[in-house]
Amino acid sequence: MSSTHGGTAQRQHPSGGNDHRVQFYEDPSFLFDVVAKFLAAGFQAGESAVVIASEDHTKGCTARLKALGFDVEPALEDGRLVLLDARATLARFMVDGLPDWSRFQQVIGDVLDRSHRAAGGRGVRAFGEMVDLLLKDQNPQAALLLEEQWNALGKTHPFGLLCAYALGGFQTQEDARVFHAVCGAHAHVIPTEAYSQVPAEELRLREVAALQQRSKMLEAEIEHRKRVEKELLVAVRLRDDFLSVAGHELRTPLATLQLQLHTLTRLTRETGDARVQERLERVRQQAQRLGTLTEELLDVVRVGEGYLALQTETCDLAAIVLDVVDLSSEVVARSGCQLRVLAEQPIWGEWDRSRLEQVVTNLLSNALKYGAGKPVEVVVKASRDRAELVVQDHGIGIPLDAQARIFDRFERAVPTSSYGGLGLGLWMVRQVAEAHGGGVRVESEPGAGATFTVELPYTKG
């Protein structure tokens, strides 16, 4: 059996000469009863027993044995009962995430030999859940390989083996493949208490028929979800294509419009017409806002396609913050918030200047929008290995259940009807911070404002 020595376990029926059975269960109490009866039957025939389980399951099984009238302590003393910790026993023969055949033979073989002698040459019954531990560790390859190694060991060491798996460990389609492989590795398969304890054969058959019907229903549901997922992927691709085309198509007329507005603004200043200047300023602001929204949509496409390229250079974070604040003076004035900036000392790092300007702009705009006319603080800090940008407002705050999702695309913590925007600003902050090897976090309570902290390593490496 080549697969016992390594590689991917192949599904095969075990040797008929070894009693290797598997019990699936839902409630551990049911498992304790099954194991205790399995071992007690062996003790009555003069056999010895080996239990390789977790501490809690070992206690549960031995308690059931005592309840059946078996004296556990003398059996432990004379070797007729051996209790081993499943995790510790696994560690003795696992190599690079897989059970090593030679070590398994030595470790488990020695235990079986001693138990065989303790029983005066009679049989040995073993209960083990090391395979279930491997499955819970997301290592099905090792679990199936270990099942095969138990079968191979049975050719030289006669014993009866009961394995146990919690049925809740099989949830996905991949788990279904493993489930069938587990069944194929055992001579006897025992279903959970929901079916094995049904008293009448007719009722059991009805339960099996109902289970088959649910299985078919689930298969149909899986196929339906696959089709829906495929359709959604196509829809997302079409959406991104549209955003990309629309964004690039908007750029050209916007650039022309902004150039003409600049020219008109200069001409009206020469004529001194205050009314025309005011209206042109409003148009200029709307054109600027439209340009920002266009770039945000293009960023969605860029990040979705995995190429948020950074143009890093040596730059001063404090200077970037002060530049953005200077350019945002009109927005600050309209918000009614008093802005306080602490960025006195230069903080140098290898960063993308334009992307950090975007981060500062988005966080500052966010604070001013939701700051409710209360003070806003922007602070730049330097630590040993990274710089911090902190933007704090004292406005409406963010509910706890919204603090994680506000960094997702098109997500908002407030109704769209009350506040404008696409819900992309904080998402972009996170993308830029993480692209630099840093991150962003928020601390907030409703009615008590919000504090956003961006951490940026001085170099990405």
Q: What is the CATH number of the domain that holds 68?
A: 3.40.50.300
- Of 278, 304, 330, which marks where a domain is finished? 304
Per-residue confidence band for 34, with pLDDT thresholds at 50, 70 and 90 = very high
More confident residue, 419 or 25: 25
Contact 18, 155 (CB under 8 A): yes
CATH number at residue 381: 3.30.565.10
Question: Which of 20-34, 169-183, 192-206, 215-229 shows the lowest per-residue confidence on average (mean pLDDT)?
Answer: 192-206
Evaluate if residue 6 carries a pLDDT over 60.
Answer: no
Bigger pLDDT: 198 vs 275:
275
Which residue, among 252, 247, 254, 255, has the nearest Cα to 300 in the 3D structure?
Answer: 247
**Residues 433 and 361 both lie in one domain:** yes
79 versus 423: which is more confidently predicted? 79
Q: Residue 244 belongs to what domain range?
A: 223-304
- Give the closest residue to 157 by CA, choosing from 10, 19, 14: 19
Tell me the CA end-to-end span of the chain in Å, nearest whole number: 48
The mean per-residue pLDDT over the stretch 438-448 comes to 90
> Is it the case that residue 233 has pLDDT exceeding 50?
yes
Same domain, 417 and 437: yes
Average pLDDT for 267-288:
75
Average pLDDT rounded to a whole number, residues 151-156: 90
Contact 268, 280 (CB under 8 A): yes
Q: Is 246 part of any domain?
A: yes
Kindly tell me if the per-residue pLDDT of 22 is higher than 50.
Answer: yes
Are residues 280 and 358 both part of a single domain? no
Domain boundary (276, 304, 332) is at 304
pLDDT band at 460 (very low <50, low <70, confident <90, very high): confident
Residue 283: CATH number of its domain: 1.10.287.130
- Per-residue pLDDT, 91: 94
Is 278 a domain residue? yes
pLDDT at 395 over 80: yes
Which residues have CB under 8 Å from 64's CB, separation 6+? 32, 33, 35, 36
Q: pLDDT > 90: what percent of the chain?
A: 41
Residue 130 has pLDDT above 90, yes or no: yes
User: What's the pLDDT score for residue 57?
Assistant: 94
- Of residues 309 and 72, more confidently modeled: 72
- The lowest-confidence range among 170-179, 303-312, 449-458 is 303-312
Residues 113 and 146 in one domain: yes
pLDDT score at 58: 95
Q: What is the mean pLDDT of residues 253-257?
A: 73
Say yes or no: 297 and 415 in one domain.
Answer: no
pTM above 0.75, yes or no: no
Q: Are residue 188 and residue 125 in the same domain, yes or no? A: yes
Q: Tell me, what's the pLDDT at 13?
A: 37
Does pLDDT of 408 surpass 60?
yes
Query: What string of H, E and C letters represents the secondary structure of the chain?
Result: CHHHHCCCCCCCCCCCCCEEEEEEECCHHHHHHHHHHHHHHHHHCCCEEEEEECHHHHHHHHHHHHHCCCCHHHHHHCCCEEEEEHHHHHHCCEECCEECHHHHHHHHHHHHHHHHHHCCCCCEEEEECHHHHHHHCCCHHHHHHHHHHHHHHCCCCCCEEEEEEEHHHCCCHHHHHHHHHHHHCCCEEECCHHHHCCCCHHHHHHHHHHHHHHHHHHHHHHHHHHHHHHHHHHHHHHHHHHHHHHHHHHHHHHHHHHHHHHHHHHHHHHHCCHHHHHHHHHHHHHHHHHHHHHHHHHHHHHHHCCCCCCCEEEEEHHHHHHHHHHHCHHHHHHHCCCEEEECCCCCEEEEEHHHHHHHHHHHHHHHHHHCCCCCEEEEEEECCCEEEEEEEECCCCCCHHHCCHHHCCCCCCCCCCCCCCCCCHHHHHHHHHHHCCCEEEEEECCCCCEEEEEEEECCCC
- Into how many domains does the chain fold? 3
- Asked whether residue 212 is domain-assigned, the answer is no
**Between residues 207 and 289, the one the model is more confident about:** 289
Render pLDDT for 65-121 as a digit per residue (tens, 0 to 9).
999 999 999 999 999 999 999 999 999 999 999 999 999 999 999 999 999 999 988
Both 230 and 326 in a single domain? no
64/172 same-domain check: yes
Residue 5 pLDDT greater than 70, yes or no: no
- Tell me what pLDDT residue 8 has: 33
Q: Is the pLDDT of residue 200 over 80?
A: no
Within this chain, do residues 401 and 452 fall inside the same structural domain, yes or no?
A: yes
Most confident of 56-65, 193-202, 222-231, 288-297: 56-65
Q: How confident is the model at residue 280 (pLDDT cuts 50, 70, 90)?
A: confident
pLDDT of residue 40: 93
Q: Which residue in the block uniquely carries the two structure tokens 């998402």?
A: 427
CA of residue 383 relative to chain centroid, distance: 30
Do both 453 and 335 map to the same domain? yes
Q: Are residues 76 and 131 in the same domain?
A: yes
Average pLDDT, the chain: 82
Are 179 and 43 in a shared domain? Answer: yes
